[in-house]
Amino acid sequence: MSRDTKNIPDELLDLLPAYERIKVALIRQIEANEFPPGSRLPSESELCQMFGVSRITTSRALNDLAQWAGIDSAQQALQAINLDVMIFLSAMFVIGRSMQESGYLLYLFNRIFGRARNADQLVLLILFAMGFLSALLMNDTLAIIGTPLMLYFSRELKISAKMLLLTLAFAVTIGSAMSPIGNPQNLLIAINSGLSNPFLVFLQHLMLPTVANLILAYLLLRLFYSGQFEKKQLQIQSGQIIDPTLARLSRLSFILLFALILAKMAAVLLGIGQDFPLTYIALISALPVLLFSRRRAEVVRGIDWCTLIFFAAMFVLMDAVWRSGFFQALLAGSHSDLATVPAILAFSVVMSQLVSNVPLVALFQPMLVHPSTEALMALAAGSTIAGNLFILGAASNVIIIQNAEKSGETITFLEFAKVGAPLTALNILVYWIFL
């Protein structure tokens, strides 16, 4: 549409495609100074509600509007980067890195796992401790610190390294599903959907099936590695804190994170005070380390900058793919109803093996027009649990295997799939039943 299309008579507007009508309406509002320079235009979600159209249509309208306004590709690329996600990840990486550098996280693990007296108890403790911690600290962080711990247990306790590495991989993948901050794709869903109380929503819908799936993981590991579960006594030594000062600050950050999550849930439930986004929770929790630690510069340098760069690039790439219409056309050509819970679960598991779970969510979520809470939770569960199927299904799997290979241990593609494939099938069934 040219710049002059806005001047067509009102009686002819109905002859235009929906995206053109939206563009005309926005141009007229801009020129009437209803959106003065520097103000924010309605988001895609808001436009969907205003005009009663799909996300695809509003995306096309905004893309054409950008061309009409002469917005260059560089500006579009910068606008595509979700700053809330980037700030949140950075702050969480600071907390995780400080806990790792100080030795506090390893100390905490040893205190937890030191309670195990046999292989059964050890596997159960790894599954549930790592699973629940991954809901707060993100699964990739625990994959990094947990791998050398699993190898240490294997050497000292004469237990199969492959079994312990699989236990870790399944724990951080399954456990991260029940929290909006457990993994990056859940964070995208929580932020982009505008859930007022994402922690409570995720826990209400996904906590019980996640616990059930952790138990299923234990049973399958018990089945495939039955010879490792001999009734022999284990003795795990307590770990030592490397930097007591940084350990105290990182512990304070962790406690603060947990407290703010509970405060957010309570505030929304009780209807008191102003709601505060996930980004604020992460930033406030990281402040003790950033403000009071003499090693703050070292901690900041040590965070996973490659992952942050990856996410920035991913946002730009996925925005370009979305604007091209390729993904929308691909789904439209399938002639399938992908809005139901079973379809979302199956589609997200399969497609996550091809394009990875985070890009999948970035592309697929906008396709869901006015999605139900159950649909959003199905997307979170499916895209997360996809990591149990094959090694490449989750970045945490790759991190675990890469770190293990440095010490001479590994898990082959088939060894992972032998346990992961039946586990994933059972996981999907459980989430489908609960959702």
In single-letter form, the type of residue at position 133 comes to: L
- Phi, psi (deg, nearest 5) at residue 277: -70, 170
Burial of 282 (0-12, 13-18, 19+ CB in 10 A): buried
| Per-domain boundaries in the chain | 3-71, 83-434
Q: Which residue has the tokens 């005309």?
A: 24
Using pLDDT thresholds of 50, 70 and 90, give the confidence band for residue 4.
very low
Work out the pLDDT band at 65, boundaries 50, 70, 90.
low
192-209 mean pLDDT: 87
pLDDT in tens, 94-103: 887 888 788 8
- pLDDT winner (highest mean) among 18-27, 301-310, 423-432: 423-432
Model confidence at 171, in pLDDT bands (50, 70, 90)? very high
pLDDT bucket at 246, cuts 50 / 70 / 90: very high
- Helices and strands counted in the chain (H then E): 21, 0
Q: Within 13 Å, how many C-alpha atoms sit on residue 253's CB side?
A: 33
pLDDT of residue 106: 78
Alpha-carbon distance of 117 to 107, in angstroms, equals 18
The confidence score (pLDDT) of residue 273 equals 57
Instruction: Name the band, by pLDDT with cuts 50, 70 and 90, for residue 353.
Output: confident
Specify the amino acid at residue 27.
Answer: I
Q: Is 115 helix (H, G, I), strand (E, B) or coil?
A: coil
Task: Pull the structure tokens for residue 150.
Answer: 């699993």
pTM above 0.85, yes or no: no
Judge contact between 107 and 99, C-beta under 8 A. no
pLDDT at residue 91 greater than cutoff 60: yes
The answer to whether 208 and 200 have CB atoms below 8 angstroms apart is no
Specify the higher pLDDT residue, 311 or 133. Answer: 133
Task: From residue 248, give the alpha-carbon distance in Å to each of 99, 102, 205, 216.
Answer: 9, 9, 34, 36
C-alpha angle 199-205-206 in degrees, rounded to nearest 5: 80
Architecture of domain 3-71: Orthogonal Bundle (1.10)
Exposure string for 181-215, b = 16+ CB within 10 A, e = fewer: bbbbbbbbbbbbbebebbbbbbbebbbebbbbbbe
Tens of pLDDT along 376-418? 999 999 999 999 998 878 878 888 888 788 788 889 999 999 9
The two three-digit tokens of residue 84, written as one number: 């809330």
Q: CA-to-CA distance for 220 and 211, rounded, in angstroms?
A: 15
Q: Give the integer Cα–Cα distance in Å for 299 and 317.
A: 29
Phi-psi region of 33 (alpha: psi -120 to 50; beta: other; left: phi over 0): left
pLDDT band, residue 252 (cuts 50/70/90): very high
| Residue 136: alpha-carbon gap to chain centroid | 11
CB 103 within 8 Å of CB 241: yes
Torsion of CA 141, 144, 145, 148, to 10 degrees: 170
Nearest-angstrom CA–CA distance, 261 and 257: 6
- Percent residues over pLDDT 90 in the chain: 26
Higher pLDDT, 211 or 71: 211
- What is the average pLDDT across 223-233? 81
The residue-averaged pLDDT of 110-127 equals 86
Q: Report the candidate in 117, 45, 37, 100 with the shortest Cα–Cα distance to residue 69.
A: 37
- Please spell the DSSP secondary structure of 3-16, one letter per residue: GGGGGS-GGGGGGS
Residue 239 or residue 162, greater confidence:
162
